[in-house]
């Protein structure tokens, strides 16, 4: 299996892109655990809640990955909406610190490709989103871009309208699968 993570600030089309790519490549995608958690527990979250969310995201990814090889051909892509880098950024951006568990687990998890969603889509309000202002969105995007530049997995910046994003992402995945 090839693990492909879609990351970036909120409201950049990550979930939409995951679903489009999974449909296109005939595989599966791991949803963002935080969305389910916050819808159930409310948006008044604490620093400790972010550790619970991080562990939930890893457990959800492991659940999807565990039976993947029996359902899909070898080397098929599994698309993952959010990983521990997102949890690190979230912790540090909101609380100015990050749980050691998240930091320890970032270095042990391996992915084949990252797709970094840019902030050039219009921000769409929903009950969970927190940062509609352009300055925060720019700052968060640059934090993610810096992380991508300083980690070892290949990554591709995904920008443009929804169709252009899908085409760029699809091309990046095809290149990974061909390599």
Positive or negative, the CA dihedral 23, 153, 33, 71 is positive
Q: In this predicted structure, what is the pLDDT of residue 53?
A: 98
Q: In this predicted structure, what is the pLDDT of residue 84?
A: 97
Q: In this predicted structure, what is the pLDDT of residue 121?
A: 87
Q: In this predicted structure, what is the pLDDT of residue 128?
A: 63
Q: Which CATH number fits domain 2-178: 3.40.50.720, 3.40.50.300, 3.30.565.10, 2.40.110.10?
A: 3.40.50.300
Residue 85: band (very low, low, confident or very high) from pLDDT cuts 50, 70, 90 = very high
Strand order across the beta sheet in which 155-158 lies: 28-30, 77-81, 2-7, 113-117, 155-158
Question: Rounded mean pLDDT of 39-65?
Answer: 96
Q: State the Cα–Cα distance between residues 102 and 33, nearest whole angstrom.
A: 15
Q: Determine what percent of the chain is predicted with pLDDT higher than 90.
A: 85
Q: State the Cα–Cα distance between residues 19 and 169, nearest whole angstrom.
A: 12
Which pairs from 43-49 meet CB under 8 Å and 24+ separation? Answer: 43/127, 43/128, 43/130, 47/91, 47/94, 47/95, 47/97, 47/99
* 122-170 pLDDT per residue, tens: 776 766 656 667 788 899 999 999 999 999 999 999 999 999 999 999 9
Written as six digits, the tokens of 85 are 């880098």
């Amino acid at each position: 299996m090839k693990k492909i993570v879609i990351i970036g600030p909120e409201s950049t089309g990550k979930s939409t892109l995951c679903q489009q790519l999974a449909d296109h490549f005939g595989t599966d995608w791991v949803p963002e655990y935080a969305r389910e958690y916050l819808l159930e527990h409310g948006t008044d979250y604490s620093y400790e809640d972010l550790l619970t969310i991080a562990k939930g995201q890893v457990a959800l990814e492991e659940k999807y990955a565990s039976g993947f090889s029996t359902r899909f051909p070898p080397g098929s892509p599994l698309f993952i909406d959010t990983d521990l880098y997102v949890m690190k950024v979230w912790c540090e951006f909101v609380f100015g610190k990050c749980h050691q568990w998240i930091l320890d687990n970032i270095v042990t998890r391996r992915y084949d490709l990252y797709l970094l969603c840019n902030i050039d889509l219009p921000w769409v309000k929903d009950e969970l989103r927190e940062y509609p202002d352009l300055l925060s969105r720019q700052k968060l995007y640059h934090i993610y871009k810096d992380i991508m530049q300083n980690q070892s997995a290949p990554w591709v910046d995904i920008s443009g309208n929804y169709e252009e994003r899908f085409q760029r992402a699809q091309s990046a995945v095809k290149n990974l699968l061909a390599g």
